[in-house]
Amino acid sequence: DTGVSQNPRHKITKRGQNVTFRCDPISEHNRLYWYRQTLGQGPEFLTYFQNEAQLEKSRLLSDRFSAERPKGSFSTLEIQRTEQGDSAMYLCASSSGLAGQETQYFGPGTRLLVL
Amino acid sequence: GENVEQHPSTLSVQEGDSAVIKCTYSDSASNYFPWYKQELGKRPQLIIDIRSNVGEKKDQRIAVTLNKTAKHFSLHITETQPEDSAVYFCAAPRGGGSNYKLTFGKGTLLTVNP
């Protein structure tokens, strides 16, 4: 499977715990995006990387959220001290970054439930 | 930042009819407009997109039209089939340029009745 993959697919945690999600983009895609999607809403932009550089973070990304892409390939999103309001689907997407090839391909998402 | 409004929020049609979903955007610098289809429990998948240098694009039963002056774009599905039932999202890039940090509409739940 050469598409975007995410792990785990589901995560249930207790409030206050830390969680980490992983995203593996399409090979050779240099742009990687994280979005959050809640029920009945469209995906909301959180942050994106060009290679290993994190170029922008949304105001939605509080200090409890951190994302990395250490070698410009896979990325991790960590949420510290989880809150019930963090419950959502976390989607990763990647694109080639080349002019005229803007399509963002989404992964299956990680569904987080904070109890 | 970009603001994307999508209408209607729900749409029910009979099989074989056409469906139209409309979106407006606020950032005049936006130059790329994708449409995604999301089935229940699955990832959003691109079905068609359009760039600002054209006014219309068609792919079999699906077409997208763009009016840059009015800042709106629409998805047209003809000869709808039950498998077209899903949530459809429009999107526009925030801040234009080539960054393509997408702002999504709230989605349209399309139901095609057999």
- CA–CA separation, B2 and B7 (whole Å): 17
pLDDT digit string (tens) for B104-113? 999 999 999 9
Please report, in angstroms and rounded to a whole number, the separation of the first and last CA atoms in chain A: 33
DSSP A98: -
State the DSSP H helix or E strand holding residue B99, giving kind and residue range, or none if neither: none
Instruction: Please name every residue paired with A65 in a beta bridge, in sequence order, or none if there are none.
Output: A79
Chain A residues touching residue B89 (CB < 8 angstroms):
42-43
Low-confidence ranges of chain A (pLDDT < 50): none
Residue B98 has pLDDT above 70, yes or no: no
Q: Which residues contact B23 (CB under 8 A, 6 or more apart)?
A: B4, B5, B6, B7, B33, B72, B73, B74, B75, B90, B92, B105
Interface residue ranges in chain A relative to chain B, Cβ cutoff 8 Å: 4, 31, 33, 40-45, 48, 55-56, 91, 95, 99, 102-109
CA distance A95 to chain B (A): 10
Instruction: Please name every residue paired with A76 in a beta bridge, in sequence order, or none if there are none.
Output: A22, A68
Q: Please tell me which residue, B14 or B96, carries the higher pLDDT value.
A: B14
pLDDT confidence of residue B80? 98
Location of structure tokens 């289809």: B37
- CA–CA separation, B101 and B1 (whole Å): 10
Residue B95 banded pLDDT, cuts 50, 70, 90: low
pLDDT confidence of residue B51? 87
CB contact under 8 A, B91 and A45: no
pLDDT digit string (tens) for B10-20? 999 999 999 99
pLDDT confidence of residue B53? 81
**Radius of gyration of chain A from its Cα atoms, rounded to whole angstroms:** 13
pLDDT confidence of residue A21? 98
- CA–CA separation, A44 and A37 (whole Å): 6
pLDDT digit string (tens) for B34-89? 999 999 989 999 999 998 888 999 999 999 999 999 999 999 999 999 999 999 99
Compute the residue count for chain B: 114
Chain B residues touching residue A48 (CB < 8 angstroms):
99, 101
Chain B residues touching residue A105 (CB < 8 angstroms):
46
